[in-house]
Amino acid sequence: MDASTIIVGMSGGVDSAVAALLLKREGHAVAGVFMKNWDEDDGGEFCTAAADFEDARRVCDALDIELLQASFAAEYWDAVFEVFLAEHRAGRTPNPDVLCNSEIKFKLFLQYAQTLGADGIATGHYTRSRWVDGDFQLLKGADAGKDQSYFLHGVPAERLAPCRFPLGELTKPEVRRLAQEAGLTVHDKQDSTGICFIGERPFGAFLARYLPPAPGAIVATDGAMLGEHRGLAWYTLGQRQGLGIGGLAGRRAAPWYVVAKRPAQNELVVSQNEGDLLSQGLIAKGVNWLGDVDLPLRCTAKTRYRQPDQPCLATPAPDDGLRLDFDAPQRAVTPGQYACLYAGERCLGGGVIETAIGAHA
């Protein structure tokens, strides 16, 4: 592999640290960029940007590479967070991490790196890529338990093509071992699981800072009113905790599940029958294809991260949409989330789930 100038997105975690380590060992000219794209400072345990930057600085010092800082906070607010809030207002359940990758990490960060003269960027994502007959392909990470191709399916192929994913063939224990052997202090740092660039926070309280309460009726599938919700934004399909409707007279002693949202009526629909969560298919919009795909197509798909691949038939839907019909009914197919398609280990792309077919409305 020819040596290149590569800029690594340094988060302060072990994954990006080892990505930089491996690229430098390959002989590339490597620099790091720490992105701080969320301006609000909550203080206390939820404000980790300063500590993360110090971790990134220590890693770059140990690797003897330059560390730069960049902020795309205004762009993040407009392109990611405003969409996140709008989707919640509409009663949907968004996935901001997918949008963050397509709008910030693999767009603005890539452009920023290119203005600095870099040949490409690298991240600590557990995914792989390859070129076949001159065409770029995105592949699952070798470690099925850590594969993150789902989060990259919305990035256009031309923006993924100049990116490197050094961790694609590794497992998390291997990454931590490499970091420890290299003397990197982040080798045992806990993984972040919060919202992209915002971090881990009590979600309900955080959302309440931006969306006013919008109470409405909680109704059963038979139309009976069972209680009041605080706002559709605070609930997701399949949820069974925090509904406050247990022990109802005349109802069996079984859990209640959110099975639908009715934004027009501001109603939250619940059921004690888990079968009411099942859908046979879905319609997706805003589809991003990572290469040429001919429909109809037998493939597999995920409707959420970490879901096992589900066999399905993909066919065109109106308005450039995509229809998936699954071989087996799927639980809690959620509008606002993403459907990601695969052909074996290759990620084909995907889109935003618009509606679930056969679900409660």
Q: Which of 262, 260, 263 is nearest to 237 (CA)?
A: 260
From the candidates 60, 100, 299, 312, give the one annotated as an active-site residue: 100
Picking from 69, 124, 132, 134, the residue whose alpha carbon sits closest to that of residue 101 is 124
Confidence (pTM):
0.92
Q: How far, in Å, CA of 148 to CA of 193, rounded?
A: 13
Query: pLDDT tens digit string along 102-112?
Result: 999 999 999 99
What CATH number has the domain spanning 277-357? 2.40.30.10
Per domain, the residue ranges of the chain are 5-203, 212-272, 277-357
Helix or strand (DSSP H, E) at 173: helix 172-181
Query: Exposed e or buried b for every residue in 32-50, given b needs 16+ CB within 10 A?
Result: bbbbbbbeeeeeeeeebbe
CATH for 5-203, options being 3.40.50.150, 3.40.605.10, 3.40.50.620, 3.40.50.1370: 3.40.50.620
Per-residue pLDDT, 75: 95
Active-site residue flag, 100: yes
Per-residue pLDDT tens over the stretch 273-329? 999 999 999 999 999 999 999 999 999 999 999 999 999 999 999 999 999 999 999
In this structure, of 1-5, 70-74, 80-84, the range with the lowest mean pLDDT score is 1-5
- What CATH number is given for 212-272 in this structure? 2.30.30.280
**Alpha-carbon dihedral angle through residues 257, 262, 268, 271, given to the nearest 10 degrees:** -30
Q: Check 60, 163, 196, 340 and give the catalytic one.
A: 196
pLDDT, tens digit, 9 for 90 and up, residues 75-96: 999 999 999 999 999 999 999 9
